[in-house]
Amino acid sequence: MPKAVVLLSGGLDSSTCLAMARQQRYTSYALSFNYGQRHARELESARKVANALQVKEHLIIDINLRSIGGSALTADISVPKARPAVQIGAGIPVTYVPARNTIFLSLALAWAEVLETGHIFIGVNALDYSGYPDCRPEYIRAFEQMANLATKAAAEGKCRYRIHTPLINMSKAQIIREGCKLGLDYGLTYSCYDPLEGNHPCGQCDSCLLRLKGFKEAGLTDPLVSVKT
């Protein structure tokens, strides 16, 4: 079974992505980041999901992106609430974290090189998403090209890097149905950007709203919300 590095935030998308990598018979190495995010609660979910999906190893790297700031997730900027559905994905909101996927994929690339595999999975989605530029297919292809010039393994012809994005063209409802089919317990995952006291999801940030819309369209109940409320 080939190895794969799988970026795992602990959210709905990345957890489904991990379940899909497993379904595709990769031996998964999950990679998470404690980056000073407002919703560090997601790391508890990342641990639970990594454990439930029996990854080979789960590495959590500390990197303080608060020292750079520039986002509602890493600085004192308010997270937008209760935005109409038509606004979500129409522009790039203040929850965008500068170069986040580039930083995360770079570290995934480093680990993949050490593990001697060319497979990296990331749960980006360009349909029911927040409009972040580093979730688009053209960005992913450009990262891939760069990765194949950046590394010793590629320069020596031992490895070609491929960024797998199994969710990229799926709707949130399709993602949820796929995860359920694979037996993923969404009660383990966590999506909220701006948790309330006791880490209850706020239910009003873009991430909560997209999750809510996804479960509704899939005709399913979110086990996380039904447990928490």
Q: Which stretch binds a copy of itself (CB under 8 A): 100-108, 175-183, 203-211, 214-222?
A: 100-108
Residue type, position 130, single letter: S
Those residues whose C-beta lies under 8 Å from the C-beta of residue 66, and which sit 6 or more positions away, are 35, 36, 74, 75
40 binds a copy of itself (CB under 8 A): no
90 binds a copy of itself (CB under 8 A): no
Quote the least distance from Cβ 44 to a copy of itself, whole Å.
20
Paired tokens of 206: 């873009």
CA distance 44 to 189: 9
What is the gyration radius of the CA atoms in the chain, in angstroms?
17
Q: Measured from the CB atom, is 52 or 99 closer to a copy of itself?
A: 99
Report the C-alpha dihedral over residues 42, 133, 29, 4, rounded to 10 degrees.
160
Q: Enumerate long-range contacts of 219-226, CB under 8 Å, 24 or more apart.
A: 220/176, 220/177, 220/180, 222/186, 223/185, 223/186, 223/187, 224/186, 224/187, 224/189, 224/190, 224/191, 225/201
Quote the least distance from Cβ 163 to a copy of itself, whole Å.
11
Paired tokens of 55: 């990854």
Quote the least distance from Cβ 162 to a copy of itself, whole Å.
15
Would you say 172 and 217 are in contact if contact means Cβ atoms under 8 Å apart?
yes
56 binds a copy of itself (CB under 8 A): no
Q: How many residues sit in the footprint of a copy of itself (CB under 8 A)?
A: 44
Residues 153-212 that bind a copy of itself (CB under 8 A): 154-156
User: Bridge partners of 61?
Assistant: 33
92 binds a copy of itself (CB under 8 A): yes
Residues 113-132 that bind a copy of itself (CB under 8 A): 113-114, 132
Among 27, 34, 106, 171, binds a copy of itself (CB under 8 A): 106
Quote the least distance from Cβ 40 to a copy of itself, whole Å.
17
Q: Which stretch binds a copy of itself (CB under 8 A): 92-100, 178-186, 199-207, 221-229?
A: 92-100
Contact positions vs a copy of itself (CB under 8 A): 59, 61-65, 67-70, 92, 96-103, 106-107, 109-111, 113-114, 132-134, 136, 138-139, 142-143, 145-147, 149-152, 154-156
